[in-house]
Amino acid sequence: MQIIYEPIEGKAIPDGKVEEEYNYILNNYELLKQSWVYSTENIIQRLRLGRLRGEIDDLTIIFNDERLEITEYGSLLHWPNGFCDYNINICQSILLDAMSKHKVNKLMSGG
């Protein structure tokens, strides 16, 4: 199965529709023999889980003309910069900023 991750031009899948889209892909991939193009990482992560669970035998994701093979464990051997990393980057920023704010507040309060 080949999926194209195109963060700007791909199809966006709302969180509440991920399972429906995932099932559509599973039920139609062999029949349609096409690649799907997505812009949201939620469907990419769900496909990785499907690969791990054995629901998908072979999964390749194309990102910036690079072929990313998904292992039987749902992982990538190489995680390119910019690939499905928006949420993790935001979470990292929240944690770092919160720690800095806590440190400043603690210093200002004399603690």
pLDDT along the chain (111 residues), means of 10: 93 97 92 87 96 95 95 94 84 91 87 66
- Does the residue 49 lie in any domain? yes
DSSP codes of every residue in 85-104? -HHHHHHHHHHHHHHHHHHH
- Does the residue 10 lie in any domain? yes
- Predicted structure pTM score: 0.81
Token digits for 23?
Answer: 């099932």
Cβ neighbours around 38 below 10 Å, total: 21
3-class secondary structure, 15: helix
Token digits for 52?
Answer: 């791990």
Domain enclosing residue 18, as ranges: 2-79
Q: Residue 110: what pLDDT? A: 78
Q: Residue 84: what pLDDT? A: 85
d(C-alpha 64, C-alpha 10), whole Å: 13
Q: Residue 108: what pLDDT? A: 86
- Does the residue 86 lie in any domain? no
H/E element, 4: strand 2-5
Q: Residue 111: what pLDDT? A: 66
- Does the residue 58 lie in any domain? yes
- Does the residue 98 lie in any domain? no
Number of domains forming the structure of the chain = 1
Alpha helices in the chain (DSSP H): 18-32, 41-52, 86-108
Token digits for 18?
Answer: 């991920």
